[in-house]
């Protein structure tokens, strides 16, 4: 079956990236305009998909990635961090080129949803640097390392620093969220063995307050035994791995993983000195209120899952 196609998605992504870069260059803030454009574009894509009885997951891979990227940036904090990284990267790049290559080509820096941590194309006319959207979780030292690797030379130290960042929880969480946004799967809370709606009722009544708004709940095969659950803020959706949907998995283990993901919605993301924090001390205190916390942790360790959620 041919992929469903919508024209100009990639062009619109490129235009938004250019606007963000021009904002960084001119220091003329257009944040509200960017936010509006992104929300309108996402709404239009969703509407076209609905009219044609498809989902964004039916788009070709490049368009699907661009759609997920735009959805991700409709979150105000994600967009703000995105713009800050472009600002910082440009500032560092300008400093490097002035001291090492005063007659260098024009510069374009973008953050996109791509498989590479970063990539660059250098011609006499343009130095085009693309960073993964995961760089919204990067500290200044890491951004400088990438700029130096592209504009001067990569060293073993900068290579190791970039590799460690690519393997960090903060980076991988962002990439997973982007991957989940446009995944095709049935949003069904009923699994083969467990019903997430029923488990939510149990968990919410015991551990969450009455004002907690229930997110969408579903099983998703993109998750594995290494990653058992995820809260996707862009869609207000909790997804769990079907590896938990088995009769040999105790109900309190599934409840605990679900509770953990619901806490991500409850506590949100905190930024401390530029670091993206999802498992804060407050989060961990709430997590340990689960009645069968020790038993659930012990069982998950027996499963051999080092990165549960």
Q: Is residue 102 part of a domain?
A: yes
Distances (CA, A) of 125 to 106, 108, 118, 119: 6, 11, 20, 17
**Residue span of the structural domain in which 125 resides:** 9-181
- Examine the domain organization and report whether 176 and 208 are in the same domain: no
- Examine the domain organization and report whether 242 and 119 are in the same domain: no
Q: What b/e string do you get for 214-251 counting C-beta neighbours within 10 Å, with b at 16 or more?
A: ebebbbbeebeeebbbbbbbbeebbbbbbbbbeeebee
Tell me what pLDDT residue 176 has. Answer: 84
- Examine the domain organization and report whether 210 and 174 are in the same domain: no
- Examine the domain organization and report whether 102 and 129 are in the same domain: yes
Tell me what pLDDT residue 172 has. Answer: 87
CB-side neighbour CA atoms (13 Å) of 278:
19
| Sheet strands (E) in 118-211 | 118-122, 126-132
How is residue 283 written in tokens? 């989060």
First to last CA, the chain: 34
* CA 59/CA 66 separation, integer angstroms: 10
Beta-carbon count within 10 A of 80 CB? 15
Cβ pair 224, 240 in contact under 8 A: no
Cβ pair 100, 152 in contact under 8 A: yes
Tell me what pLDDT residue 234 has. Answer: 72
- Examine the domain organization and report whether 254 and 279 are in the same domain: yes
Helix axes 61-73, 31-51, angle to 10 degrees: 130
* CA 125/CA 146 separation, integer angstroms: 20
| Residue whose entry in the numeric block shows the structure tokens 């488990």 | 199
Beta-carbon count within 10 A of 289 CB? 11
Number of domains in the chain: 2
Q: Is residue 2 part of a domain?
A: no
| pLDDT tens per residue across span 30-55 | 999 999 999 999 999 999 998 998 88
Domain end: 150, 181, 212, which one?
A: 181
pTM of the model: 0.78
How is residue 220 written in tokens? 């998703």
Grouped pLDDT means (10 residues each) for the chain, 309 residues: 80 95 92 94 92 88 93 92 95 88 79 93 92 94 94 92 91 87 73 93 91 90 74 84 91 95 89 75 93 93 67
- Examine the domain organization and report whether 28 and 175 are in the same domain: yes
């Amino acid at each position: 079956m041919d992929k469903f196609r919508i024209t100009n998605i990639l062009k619109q992504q490129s235009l938004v990236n250019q606007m963000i870069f021009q904002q960084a260059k001119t220091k003329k803030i257009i944040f509200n305009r960017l936010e509006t454009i992104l929300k309108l574009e996402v709404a239009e894509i969703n509407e076209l998909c609905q009219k044609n009885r498809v989902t964004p997951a039916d788009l070709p891979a490049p368009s699907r990635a661009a759609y997920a990227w735009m959805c991700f940036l409709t979150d105000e904090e994600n967009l703000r961090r995105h713009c800050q990284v472009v600002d910082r990267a440009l500032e560092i790049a300008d400093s490097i080129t002035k001291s090492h290559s005063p007659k260098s080509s024009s510069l374009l820096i973008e953050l996109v949803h791509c498989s590479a941590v970063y990539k660059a194309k250098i011609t006499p006319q343009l130095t085009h640097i693309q960073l993964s959207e995961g760089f919204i979780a990067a500290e200044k030292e890491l951004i400088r390392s990438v700029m130096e690797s592209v504009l001067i030379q990569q060293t073993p130290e900068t290579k190791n620093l970039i590799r460690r960042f690519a393997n960090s929880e903060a980076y991988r969480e962002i990439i997973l969220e982007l991957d989940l946004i446009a995944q095709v799967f049935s949003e069904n809370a009923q699994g083969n063995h467990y019903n997430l709606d029923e488990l939510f009722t149990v968990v919410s009544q015991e551990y969450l307050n009455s004002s907690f708004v229930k997110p969408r709940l579903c099983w998703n095969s993109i998750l594995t035994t290494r990653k058992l659950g995820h809260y996707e803020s862009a869609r207000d959706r909790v997804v769990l791995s079907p590896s938990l949907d088995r009769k040999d998995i105790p109900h309190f283990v599934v409840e605990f993983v679900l509770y953990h993901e619901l806490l991500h919605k409850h506590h949100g993301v905190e930024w401390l000195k530029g670091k993206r924090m999802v498992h804060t001390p407050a989060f961990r205190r709430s997590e340990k209120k689960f009645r069968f916390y020790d038993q659930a942790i012990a069982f998950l360790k027996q499963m051999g899952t080092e990165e549960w959620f």
